[in-house]
Amino acid sequence: MRVVTLEYEMPETRDIIKAVLFDLGETVLNFGRFNATQLFRRGARLSYDYLKSRGQPVGNFELYCWRNLIALRTRHLISSITKNDFNSSALLRGIGVKKGFRLDGQQWRHFAWLWYEPLSQIAHVEPNLKETLAKLTNKLGLKLGIVSNTFVSGHSLEAHLEQVGVLDFFPVRLYSYEFDFRKPDTRILSIASERIGESPQNIAFVGDRIDKDIIPALKLGMIGVLKAAYTNHGRELPYRARKITHLAELPSLIEGINASAAP
């Protein structure tokens, strides 16, 4: 009897999504285009008035403003060259300590928040953001986290997220100033993968930047999801990436991806 061997290819399988990592600016928190110098002066005024009310030796406002502005711009220039972010709150605190400011820990955190507050006031989130995140966690059972390139203190960013009622959805939070590298360096995404407890193939990364969010996520094996924003308007979507206009579309997108994954 002749034995015939049948050869066939196994259907391609896809890993299901078990976790979602989000960029912060223009993804979870939407700031849009803004006048940075104007917001800086507002933050300078708020922090200056607070220090003055606490009896600190702040001196002339314009000198206070320019001293901090020059320090921040210089450090930002260095950061652009080295590709390492810095903690702006620690920098401003260091300047203050040298000038003789004496505050306790909570007061320094409030001082940092006052610098950030004008930016928080122009930000907005999607009206159904909490419901969207609740679907991802409660209905789909996904783990959520944040990976953000930023020089803003994590205390201030988390105070902002708490204000809009979504901080508790993100138990894993990574800020680039805590590391010697930042996106698009895939090492920060690898660390986020370890902390959230899932392999990159089981993680979707949602961000607004093709170069700093989507491409490194795809390179690491994650599913890249581009959120429409002015930062990517008119740019071509990378191969294998997905695109959404609003975060509210994310639960359905992930349900579809997971449903098509072979068991």
Q: Residues 153-173: pLDDT tens digits?
A: 999 999 999 999 999 999 999
Contact in structure between 16 and 65 (CB atoms under 8 Å):
no
**Confidence at 3, pLDDT banded by 50, 70, 90:** very low
Residue closest to 22 by CA, chosen among 222, 179, 221: 222
Superfamily of domain 19-31+126-260: HAD superfamily/HAD-like (3.40.50.1000)
Determine the Cα–Cα distance for residues 146 and 16; give it in Å rounded to an integer.
Answer: 20
Q: Is the dihedral of CA 161, 242, 208, 153 positive or negative?
A: positive
Domain ranges of the chain: 19-31+126-260, 36-122
- Calculate the dihedral angle through the C-alpha atoms of 237, 231, 120, 93, rounding to the nearest 10 degrees: 110
Determine the Cα–Cα distance for residues 233 and 226; give it in Å rounded to an integer.
Answer: 11
Backbone angles phi, psi at 109, to 5 degrees: -65, -40
Q: What is the pTM of this model?
A: 0.91
**Cis peptide leading into residue 184 (ω within 30°):** yes
| pLDDT tens track for 200-244 | 999 999 999 999 999 999 999 999 999 999 999 999 999 999 999
